[in-house]
Amino acid sequence: MQTCWIIGGGCYGSSYLRQFRKAALRGKMPKTRWVVLDRNPDCQATLEIGPEDPLEFIFGEWEDILLQSFSNNKIKQNDLIIPSPFQGPLIFNWLKKEADLVDRVMLPIQLPEIGGGLLYEKLGADKLTRYSSFADWVCPPFCIEPQICPVTKGLKSWDMRDLISNYAVEKNIMKTYFFVCLHWIYGVGGMSADAFLKARSFVREGPPGDFLISSMSTCHGATSAWNLSNNSN
């Protein structure tokens, strides 16, 4: 059975669960398990458990839960990771911990501006992550990012994956790992767990060198670059 791993049980995670329940009531929800990861045992999602929810909770630091769940083979290739917005650094930090476990080192690389027609681009507080968007407006809640943009009413001419792929080539970073969030059901998007497994395998066993990581939808992204090396100590 497929499992949906929902990162965060606060305002975003609990709203995703409400959408799941709506889908279930209408007979649209595939047979799945829902697992919420949160640091707070009293998070909002714990207060809204439905009688028919196939719901479980795991409490702790997000990166540590991912670390343990992948290590114990609990997260399967066909599972979905349901992120909250702005969680790109969570993926980066989790990968750093994966590398640490096998005595490897991930060091950040400063990236120049992405450009390429973006309407929004900002360097994050960590001075590493580049947040980018093709929108300079507030997107509708649970937007499924259709081909016809609900704000501009025009055909979308952009795709963040294409932009970041070309950007990586321009910067001569040949190794890229994209965590692409695509609409799954009732306005909720998910990332394939397979993308996490491939990136995990690389940082643990792949050849040293530079690589780029980006968590993204078709419209928005969070991107950083790293150098992977073996610990010489």
pLDDT single digits (tens) 126-153: 899 999 999 999 888 789 999 999 999 9
Sheet strand arrangement including 182-185:
55-59, 32-38, 2-7, 80-82, 188-192, 182-185
pTM: 0.93
- Produce one character per residue of 43-63: b if its CB has 16 or more CB atoms within 10 Å, e if not: bbbbeeeeeeebbebbeeebb
Q: Is 180 in contact with 163 (CB distance < 8 Å)?
A: no
Judged against a pLDDT cut of 60, whether residue 233 lies above it is answered with no
- Tens of pLDDT, residue by residue over 74-86, are 999 999 999 987 6
- Tens of pLDDT, residue by residue over 29-42, are 999 999 999 999 99
pLDDT of residue 167: 96
pLDDT of residue 84: 85
Residue with tokens 């692409």: 180
Average pLDDT over residues 153-182: 95
- Using a pLDDT cut of 90, give the percent of the chain over it: 89
Q: How many residues does the chain have?
A: 233
- Produce one character per residue of 163-189: b if its CB has 16 or more CB atoms within 10 Å, e if not: bbeebbeeeebebbbbbbbebbbbbbb
Average pLDDT over residues 109-126: 93
Nearest one of 225, 218, 228, 215 to 90, comparing CA atoms: 215
Beta bridge partners of 215: 179, 222
- Tens of pLDDT, residue by residue over 212-222, are 999 999 999 99
pLDDT of residue 197: 97
Q: Tell me the pLDDT of the chain averaged across its residues.
A: 94
